[in-house]
Chain A
Amino acid sequence: MILFENVGFRYNRGAEVLQSVNLEIPAGSFQFITGASGAGKSSLLRLLYLDEKPTSGRISLFGRDVTTLTRDEIAWFRRRIGVVFQDFRLLDHLTAAENVALPLIVAGAREMAYRDNVTEMLQWVGLGDKMDVRPPELSGGEKQRVAIARAVVASPDIILADEPTGSVDPAMSERIMALFVEMNRLGKTILLASHDVPMIERYKLPITTLRGGTVDDGMGRAA
């Protein structure tokens, strides 16, 4: 369960990016977060993957108020959250397999234990033949799929994705969305930020719309 209670957020001393956001996302659900550029989608995700702390209000993840977490607890929570960044954030000096294995290495797994897991994950995203290729040699869509494999390889409870189909063609977009649907069927909570309205409408899933930093109730009012 993800719970936002009157959450406000601003970067340093700038204007409020999010204001009085209230959200309740049940465990195992699949939701879109949408809104125009600058509406606060990415900021909301940053709060969720604990890259920032809210300037007001309360965020609850797995039953804990995240504003009170220690640095070690934040690291532990992040292992339960898989993130697909809009800019992928792959490490260019590592191969695709090494990038995918990152969350497992960080969690202390031994190479023998995760080797098969990583191989299987890359095959699942259709990159079984690119395991030893480094990100600079991959296309945008391939990088996106490596990032997805990395986000899900440690079997996190929540998967967050920021514009995961923003830099790929429609066919690849469908393929990536199919991967998320499959993860959701496995019981993962999926939260996907996108402003690709046709794609969002096609999937007929719950939508949270952000407008000017607040949640729009669908009638132009803050919910």
Chain B
Amino acid sequence: MSALGRKSALIPFTTASGLMMVLLIAAMAFLACFSLAGALGTTRIAGTWTEGLAGAATVRIPGGEDDRARRISLVLDILRDADGIEDARPLSEKDVADLLTPWFGGAPELGELPAPSIVAVTLDGLNEPDPSVIQARLDGASTGAIYDDHGRWRNRAAKAAHAIANLSYWAVGLTVVAIMAAVFVVVSIAMSAHQGTIGALRMAGAEDRFVAGLYQKRFFWLGAIGGLIGSGLALAAFVGLDTLASVRSALPMLEAPYYWPFVWVGIVVVCGVIALLAARLAVMATLRRRA
């Protein structure tokens, strides 16, 4: 009577369908991990970009060489007098040449180019100046200088990063829906095959939640095992692939390996719970439909 103690033995589940379910959930969990990593990584990278661009501005002083020194001096006076600016420093020719090097494929000869002079501005992070006010002062002094606080780039970078992160979260959501749909269909089909057994259980006085419990338990473990395999493979891929080095540095959980067991267990439990909920929904819907 050993099987009497195991309620799961009441339903004759087949190994083949269980294995198929585990493989399906493992594949979904693998994809979900990559989507989630994409979302986390993009958010992190966007944060780094916007933080890097924040707190700094540049002033470009284009045009003729004859009065450039005077105009630079005027610009520095205006900037240093303005509220919210901590420091203003003109870049040397070498600094400008370094900035342009990537675009030219080598160090450019600045004397041959109409390159502007650049003033690097450090802003007070808590009290950044109004860029339009600074620009008006520069225009009033006829310096021809253009003030740029990188706001345009910051906004673009943030918007792009958020769009990619949102898409990744949607991909995770769709994966969850796909797992639930797959479990729902598999449970519904299994219940058709188990019709006689379920009928006998109900005649013996089984409530709907008792029958649901038998499927829930089974599918929780199938989901958890699938999640364990899928997320384990994904984590191994993150760690193992050199080509993912940049992604790895962008993922906080991968930079701090002590997180891994928690992340892994979390994904395993979430996969199990998703499968459990889908199984319950399927059983309840099927039993009510047959009533």
Q: What residues make up the interface of A, taking CB atoms closer than 8 Å to B?
A: 49, 51, 71-72, 75-76, 78-79, 83, 89-91, 93-95, 97-98, 101-103, 105-107, 111, 114-115, 118, 131-132, 150, 154
Give bound CA distance, A90 to B9, whole Å. Answer: 15
Give bound CA distance, A65 to B210, whole Å. Answer: 25
Give bound CA distance, A94 to B1, whole Å. Answer: 10
CB contacts (< 8 Å) of A103 on chain B: these are 204-205
CB contacts (< 8 Å) of A131 on chain B: these are 1
CB contacts (< 8 Å) of A102 on chain B: these are 10, 200-201, 204
Which residues from 104 to 134 on chain B have a C-beta closer than 8 Å to any C-beta of chain A? none
Of the listed residues B4, B12, B202, the one surrounded by the most CB atoms of chain A closer than 10 A to its CB is B4
- Quick check: A75 and B202 within 8 Å, CB to CB? yes
- Quick check: B203 and A111 within 8 Å, CB to CB? no
The 4 closest A-B pairs by CB, nearest first: A79-B205, A78-B205, A93-B12, A111-B5
Residue of A nearest to B7 (CB): A105
Q: How many A-B residue pairs have CB under 8 A?
A: 73
Give bound CA distance, A97 to B3, whole Å. Answer: 10
Give bound CA distance, A76 to B205, whole Å. Answer: 6
Give bound CA distance, A93 to B210, whole Å. Answer: 19
Give bound CA distance, A36 to B22, whole Å. Answer: 53
- Quick check: A49 and B4 within 8 Å, CB to CB? no
- Quick check: B199 and A89 within 8 Å, CB to CB? yes
- Quick check: B202 and A78 within 8 Å, CB to CB? yes
Residue of B nearest to A71 (CB): B208
Contact with B3, one of A49, A95, A115 (Cβ below 8 angstroms) = A95
Interface size of B as a range: 20 to 34
Question: If A111-B4, A118-B1 touch, does A94 touch B207 (CB 8 Å cutoff)?
Answer: no
CB contacts (< 8 Å) of A107 on chain B: these are 205
5 sample A-B contacts, Cβ–Cβ < 8 Å, listed by A number: A75-B207, A93-B12, A94-B3, A95-B3, A118-B1
- Quick check: A49 and B291 within 8 Å, CB to CB? no
Contact with B291, one of A71, A72, A101 (Cβ below 8 angstroms) = A71
Of the listed residues A76, A102, A154, the one surrounded by the most CB atoms of chain B closer than 10 A to its CB is A102
CB contacts (< 8 Å) of B9 on chain A: these are 94, 98
Q: Is B196 among interface residues, defined by CB-CB distance under 8 A?
A: yes
Contact with A106, one of B4, B197, B199, B210 (Cβ below 8 angstroms) = B210
Give bound CA distance, A115 to B204, whole Å. Answer: 17
Question: Closest CB-CB distance, A12 to chain B, in whole Å?
Answer: 14
Residue of B nearest to A115 (CB): B1
CB contacts (< 8 Å) of B204 on chain A: these are 78-79, 102-103, 106, 150
